Amino acid sequence: MLFLQGESANKDGTKEEIEQYASVIEGYYNYFKGQNIEFLFLPIPNKENIYYEMFPSAKRHYYYLR
């Protein structure tokens, strides 16, 4: 995750955090499925993720395709 709060804030999420995020997204999916509505999750990168080399930590995130 990248936040503009310095190097200490630019850290990878823990397994527990990622599992919690996935659980929330899955909850949305299940709710909308029950309503007969298609749910699409589209994670859109922000400029901090695209231009990572311009930020103090210059750390490329692990979730980028190589």
Domain locations in the chain? 7-54
End-to-end CA separation in angstroms for the chain = 18
| Residue pair 19/27 in contact by the 8 Å Cβ criterion | no
State how far the Cα of 42 lies from the Cα of 25, in Å rounded to an integer.
11
Mean pLDDT, range 9-27, rounded to an integer: 85
State how far the Cα of 61 lies from the Cα of 47, in Å rounded to an integer.
13
State how far the Cα of 66 lies from the Cα of 61, in Å rounded to an integer.
11
pLDDT at 22 over 90: yes
pLDDT at 66: 45
- pTM of full prediction above 0.75: no
Place of tokens 């850290």: 11
Q: What is the mean pLDDT of the chain?
A: 75
Of residues 52 and 19, the one with the higher pLDDT is: 19
Alpha carbon 64 to its chain's center:
11
Of residues 32 and 56, the one with the higher pLDDT is: 32
